[in-house]
Structure 1
Amino acid sequence: MSDEENIPLPRVLIVDDSRMVRVSISKHIRDRFDVREAADGEDGWQALLVDPSIQVVISDLGMPKLDGYGLLERIRASKLSRIAELPVIIISGEEDDHARVKARELGATDFITKGIGTVELTSRLEALTRLAQATRELEQSREALALGSPVDPHSGLATKAYMEWHGNQELALARRRNGDLAAMVIMIDGFDKLLSEYGVHITELINRKLSKILSSKVRKEDTVSQMAPGQFAVLCPSTNIDGCSAFALRLQRAIDKLVMTYRDRQIRMTVTVGIAAGSGSNEHLTLSELIGLAVDRVKSGLEAGGNRVISESGEIDPAQLQRFVRLPVSIDHVLMQVRAGAEHEVTSRIPDVLGTLMPLLELIEQELRCGLPLHELRNPRLPVQTQGEQDSHEGTATKL
């Protein structure tokens, strides 16, 4: 099964009347950036109007039709915020201080010379694209905050604030009902190495891919939030340490089968998962302490070489968790779905529901001897999934 995603690299617009200069700069950055070229300021301006994917502009100053100063003025005066806030790098001579001062006054972001090296140029471009992305995300977050949205507009996951608020609610509920609440912290192994080798944009795509996998794997009652680049937290109500460990192992298997391609290079990733679980009987454990325990266990897993699931007893052995093939479900949540008319969402989870209820059903049969078909309930026969219904993230090949 394949899952092809053609996601473009960050686009840089190079504006210079010298074709040799454009080719030279393009050669320096083409491994990490998509390049669009324009032969003068007027052509560059038209490109900005029609191409919203441009994230950085590199412009010469002396050009026909419209020079670099004129292009800068138009960009900064634009009523389109995506254009007005674009980083603009000016190509200038090392000793041309007057030109630099004038360009800076008109809103130039940075300056380069025509003989700049590859490492320095790509570093500057990555820093500027990261700054531009952070600015956009901040504005989106402010808008989401103003609307009271619990969803982070960049990752599509729960915001940290919502995770904390909702997590404290779940912890209070677990205490009232003497129930369970588990926390997982998931870290992409070698994330700094991926960042160094492939750059910011590719690691963001890897980050986004893991976000999608997590969103599709967790139950509806679970909450997922991104803590930092390459690091995620999951809160699992009504789940003990064994059920959470089983979920973490399934997640590891799905990620192990994931292959991403970037310009004919295969990228694989592994994750280390730290797990902590609390119960209603532990009244002194706070949410931050619960997540903190999971963070500490991630660190110990990374120190041991990564690609591990670590709980309070150490590294999880898959052989010990055969009876926890799936996470237990929240019966309250299932009943709410049935009452709301969402039977189709419950039907596919009948094995999970029965697995959660089995101890109760066994007790009922033991006390009442009412002839419950326990063997059939332990091994329910459901329609076989078609290929299109199978897990879309198992064994996928994603093109970046």
Structure 2
Amino acid sequence: MTEVVAQLPRVLIVDDSRMVRASLSKQIRDKFDIREEADGEAGWQALLLDPTIEVVISDIGMPRLDGFGLLQRIRGSRLSRINSLPVLIISGEDEDEARTKAQTLGATDFITKGTPRVELIARIEALVKLAQTRRELEESREQLVRRNRGDVSVMVIQVDRYDDLCTNFGHSVGQLVHRKLSKLLSAKVRKEDTIAHLAEGQFAVISPSADLDACGAFALRLRRAIETIVMTYKEHRIRVSLTVGLASAHGDASLSLEQLLQLAASRVAEGSMLGGNRVVSESGEVTTENVGRFSRLAVSVDHALTQIRTGSKDEARKRLREIVYTLMPLLEFIDNEYHVGIPMAELAEKAQITSLDLHTASAATASQWSGTQWRG
């Protein structure tokens, strides 16, 4: 019987110093399959020829093509397997200028030479997980497009000043914040949504059959929830905030999902430049005043049904008016098709829904009846 041996994730180390490459390889070779190259040009050729590489670790100063040049080529590649690769820039000194330039060019992470082995392995493992998540996300995108005919909305969620947080309190504190946000997102999104880890302190949520108003309302609630979390580190009390960028296939001229993610990320950057702690969509900053009445009233019918089935009828009863409102387009559609005489006016009167509400609900597409609102 042949034993199947699990393949270690392949990591490309690019550094002009043979001693540095040997040192890095020695520290991580029991966890990863290592490929070494001596300069950026050789590293680039390796990426073109070897599709099994999952993470790139690159020095900055090298002959022929330096680390910044290699990073630019990677991010500018037309091959999605290359341009989405996690890149860890490693430098001899913790220089703010080098770190800032690396981040601007699209580096996923930045560390200094001499980083302890345990932390180095943890950082690389996080990048391997990121690469795997992106592959899974790509598969889920294709499924979403087929199932929802392109009617998909995207949120990119960024912890404000995440790098400063790691610099001031340590990478472990940054990871703690990242885990808390991940846990909160998992508890709040709908079962049909997809959560993706894009980078340290940054997530994406891909949502079928959800409009920008619904995404905006959810993002505002998520931002408020994060603001209430206070963490204690030594003598410090740490609070964090979020900036969220929104994009949708409907609102943004039927763009592809990859383009929607890029657009949402650009809106995160726009919000960050304005000071962070805000939600930005195609029409500018989203606030509680302009997020839209439909998104405030709509609820997830799936979630309400689950409450009823599990005996939590009191919880469903608290939002019965909103449930009726959300179902109105479907009930109207059924009545028009089958002519069964559903008492729409009486139902609206009982639920205290105005004619303006009914007009807003009817304007929603049929695909949205099942709930464009997240839990929370």
Q: TM-score, normalised by structure 1?
A: 0.51
Alpha carbons 2:157, 2:244 under 8 Å: kept = yes
- Provide the C-alpha distance between the structure 2 equivalents of 1:342 and 1:135, rounded to a whole number of angstroms: 45
Map of 1:1-400 to 2, 5 A cutoff?
126-134=115-123, 136=125, 159-175=133-149, 180-279=151-250, 285-321=255-291, 323=293, 324-325=295-296, 328-329=299-300, 343-344=309-310, 351=319, 353-361=323-331, 368=341, 370=343, 372-377=346-351
Q: 1:168 to 1:376 in 2, by over 3 A?
A: farther
Alpha carbons 1:183, 1:277 under 8 Å: kept = yes
Q: 1:313 to 1:349 in 2, by over 3 A?
A: farther
- Provide the C-alpha distance between the structure 2 equivalents of 1:214 and 1:345, rounded to a whole number of angstroms: 25
- Provide the C-alpha distance between the structure 2 equivalents of 1:327 and 1:264, rounded to a whole number of angstroms: 43
Q: 1:123 to 1:334 in 2, by over 3 A?
A: closer
- Provide the C-alpha distance between the structure 1 equivalents of 2:312 and 2:151, rounded to a whole number of angstroms: 22
SS of alignment partner, residue 301 of structure 1: helix
What residue number does 2:97 align with? none
Unaligned ranges ≥5, structure 1? 1-75, 86-118, 142-151, 380-393, 395-400
- Provide the C-alpha distance between the structure 1 equivalents of 2:303 and 2:227, rounded to a whole number of angstroms: 31
Q: CA deviation at 1:369?
A: 5.6
What residue number does 2:55 align with? none
SS of alignment partner, residue 310 of structure 2: helix
- Provide the C-alpha distance between the structure 2 equivalents of 1:349 and 1:125, rounded to a whole number of angstroms: 56
Unaligned ranges ≥5, structure 2? 1-25, 32-93, 95-110, 354-375
Alpha carbons 2:156, 2:204 under 8 Å: kept = yes
Alpha carbons 2:217, 2:296 under 8 Å: kept = yes
Q: 1:217 to 1:184 in 2, by over 3 A?
A: same
- Which one-letter code corresponds to 1:167 in the other structure? R
SS of alignment partner, residue 219 of structure 2: helix
Q: 1:126 to 1:200 in 2, by over 3 A?
A: farther
- Which one-letter code corresponds to 2:142 in the other structure? N
Q: CA deviation at 1:138?
A: 7.1
Q: CA deviation at 1:343?
A: 2.7
SS of alignment partner, residue 144 of structure 2: helix
SS of alignment partner, residue 361 of structure 1: helix
Q: 1:270 to 1:344 in 2, by over 3 A?
A: same
What CA deviation, in whole Å up to 9, does each residue of 1:118-143 have, x standing for no partner? x9xx977755332121455578x5xx
- Provide the C-alpha distance between the structure 2 equivalents of 1:346 and 1:292, rounded to a whole number of angstroms: 40
Number of equivalences: 243
- Which one-letter code corresponds to 1:133 in the other structure? A
Q: CA deviation at 1:279?
A: 3.4
SS of alignment partner, residue 325 of structure 1: helix
Q: TM-score, normalised by structure 2?
A: 0.54
What residue number does 1:57 align with? none
- Which one-letter code corresponds to 1:214 in the other structure? L
- Provide the C-alpha distance between the structure 2 equivalents of 1:301 and 1:293, rounded to a whole number of angstroms: 12
Q: CA deviation at 1:187?
A: 0.5
- Provide the C-alpha distance between the structure 2 equivalents of 1:280 and 1:318, rounded to a whole number of angstroms: 19
- Provide the C-alpha distance between the structure 1 equivalents of 2:145 and 2:312, rounded to a whole number of angstroms: 25
Alpha carbons 1:185, 1:234 under 8 Å: kept = yes
- Provide the C-alpha distance between the structure 1 equivalents of 2:311 and 2:185, rounded to a whole number of angstroms: 18
Alpha carbons 2:213, 2:292 under 8 Å: kept = no
- Which one-letter code corresponds to 1:169 in the other structure? Q
Alpha carbons 2:308, 2:316 under 8 Å: kept = no
SS of alignment partner, residue 192 of structure 2: coil
Alpha carbons 2:137, 2:196 under 8 Å: kept = yes
Which range moved further: 196-205 or 354-363? Answer: 354-363
> Considering only aligned residues, what root-mean-square deviation do their CA atoms show, in Å?
4.1
